Amino acid sequence: MTFTDKLKTNPTALWSGVVLIACALIALPFALAMAGTTWVRVTNLAILFTLLALGLNIVVGFAGLLDLGYIAFYGVGAYVYALLASPQFNLHLPFWVILPIGALAACVFGVLLGAPTLKLRGDYLAIVTLGFGEIVRIFFNNLSQPVNITNGPQGISRIDPFTIGSFSFSQNEVLLGLNFSGPIKYYYLLLLVLIAVIVINLRLEDSRIGRAWQAIREDEVAAQAMGINTTRIKLLAFAMGASFGGVAGGMFAAMQGFISPESFVLVESVMVLSMVVLGGMGNIWGVIVGALLLSFVPELLRHTVDPLQRSLFGRLIVEPEVVRMLLFGLALMLMMLFRPAGLWPSKVRQRELADE
């Protein structure tokens, strides 16, 4: 049942639940801030990765196109923002102008990636998208000569934060007796963007385009026979998925104030793909859960592994970073062995895998 159908059956329970969740989400940053502003920053990064996972979900989950270079679009969005709002070219455009430009640029890159890959089957598509991601990153890392565009490995720093008039998103302010730190302000903005993206995704899923994607995913030849223009639909999948990455990238650049090619490596693409697959490919809510889980759990581990080892063994045997990566790898393997459809699979996937 879709969200709107559920609204009609039992509105009271649904709406009270929604109101409760809304209150919790609004109060969340202040609760986290009590434990330290770090946690608000971690939450912001988690939301960014959720945006990325939702974008990748369109490509991988809806349209069934294996993309191992998704982080390139994140990078494009981030660099577009950085180039238009930093001392690099001395341009300081406002963010509501830059973010759409970033999304558009990412779209263009999405089409650039999609165009040569239309005829490729699954595994070949994977390697080409991977190569594309690496090519984009290498360009970021090397476009400092002969013309300095991206400042190479040194990255671009002192990127403008979001500002509306004199209201800056990076300064602390006290409103209504509450301390709104920079990260908290970004949190609310990110939350709004996330909700918008979720709504767009939900509508897309049930639209003609969404169904066309599903058709292509299930059986491309049959879809073509049914009159679907597979070229157009596939390119649309890449472009739309990329645009979400572009927006997320722009916000990332503003929040951090500094970007470098190091943030857009292959490992990150793999991370986003893992979030989608672990969460439940094709299912928007599953993907969100996957993204949040894979963003928060490593951070929690970082904080708890050290004291835990000390209390259990009296000293640090294995560094938190190593434990974190080990657990991550094991989690990926075990999840695929026991729940290959993901934590919260879409109904279609479940049927697919149950039949085998």
Partner 1 sequence: MEIFLQQLINGLTLGSVYAVVALGYTMVYGIIQLINFAHGEVVMIGAMVAFSVIGWLAANTALPPLVIVLIGTLAAIPACVGVGYALEIFAYRRLRHAPRLAPLITAIGASIVLQQVAMMIWSRNPLGFPQIIPNTVYHLEGATITLVQIAIIVTSVLLMVGLTLVVYRTRLGVAMRATSQNAHIAGLMGVNVNQIIAATFMIGAALAAVAGVMVGSYYGIAHYTMGSLLGLKAFCAAVLGGIGNLAGAMLGGMLLGIVEALGAGYIGDFTNNVFGSNYQDVFAFLVLIGVLVFRPSGLLGERIGERA
Partner 2 sequence: MNESRILAIGSALVVVLSGCGKNEPAPAPKADAAQELIVKIGHAAPLTGGIAHLGKDNENGARLAIEEANARNIVIDGKKVKFELLAEDDEEKPDRGPIIAQKFIDAKVAGVVGHLNSGVSIPASTVYAQAGIPMVTGSSTNPKLTEQGLKNVFRTVGRDDQQGPAIASYLATEYKPKLVAVIDDATAYGEGLGNEVEKTLTAAGIKVLPREKGSKDTRDWKAVLTKIKGKKPDAVFYGGMDATAGPLLKQGRELGIKVVFAFGDGACTNTMKDLAGDAAEGFVCSQAGIPVQAASSKFLADYKAKFNAEPIQYSPFTYDSTHVLIAAMQKANSADPAKYLPELAKISHNGASGKIEFDEKGDRKNAEMTIFMMKNGKIEPLAIIKGGASVKYEDFIKSAAATPAAPAVTAPEKK
Site residues (vs partner 2, CB under 8 A): 6, 9-10, 13-14, 16-21, 23-25, 27-28, 31-32, 34-38, 41-42, 141-142, 144-145, 152-155, 157-158, 170, 256-258, 260, 262-263, 285, 303, 319-322
Binding positions for partner 1, 52-71, rule CB under 8 A: 60, 66
Shortest distance, CB of residue 54 to partner 1, whole angstroms?
A: 17
DSSP code of residue 88: T
Q: Which is nearer to partner 2, 32 or 223 (CB)?
A: 32
Q: Which stretch binds partner 1 (CB under 8 A): 35-43, 229-237, 239-247, 326-334?
A: 326-334
Q: Are strands 85-86 and 91-92 parallel, antiparallel or unpaired?
A: antiparallel
Q: In DSSP terms, which residues pair with 92 in a beta bridge?
A: 85
**55 closest CA partner among 193, 208, 280, 239:** 239
Shortest distance, CB of residue 27 to partner 2, whole angstroms?
A: 6
What is the 3-state secondary structure of 119-151? CCCHHHHHHHHHHHHHHHHHHHHHCCCCCCCCC
Binding positions for partner 1, 217-256, rule CB under 8 A: 219-222
Residues 6+ apart with CB under 8 A from 298: 324, 328
Q: Give the one entry of partner 1, partner 2, none that residue 263 binds, where binding means its C-beta sits below a cut-off of 5 to 8 angstroms depending on kind.
A: partner 2
Residues 6+ apart with CB under 8 A from 132: 69, 72, 113
Identify the sign of the CA torsion 254, 156, 56, 241: positive
Give dist(CA 53, CA 57) in Å, integer: 6
Identify the sign of the CA torsion 19, 22, 27, 32: positive
Q: Give the one entry of partner 2, partner 1, none that residue 316 binds, where binding means its C-beta sits below a cut-off of 5 to 8 angstroms depending on kind.
A: none
Q: Which stretch binds partner 1 (CB under 8 A): 26-34, 235-243, 253-261, 336-344?
A: 336-344
**247 closest CA partner among 299, 189, 296, 289:** 189
- Any contact of residue 268 with partner 1 (CB under 8 A)? no
Shortest distance, CB of residue 137 to partner 2, whole angstroms?
A: 10
Amino acid, res. 88: Q
Q: Which is nearer to partner 2, 120 or 265 (CB)?
A: 265
Q: Which is nearer to partner 1, 73 or 169 (CB)?
A: 73
- Any contact of residue 274 with partner 1 (CB under 8 A)? yes
Q: Where do contacts with partner 1 occur on this chain (CB under 8 A)?
A: 60, 66, 116, 119-124, 126-128, 130-132, 134-135, 138-139, 141-142, 146, 219-222, 266, 270, 273-274, 277-278, 281, 318, 322, 325-326, 328-333, 335-337, 340, 352-353, 356
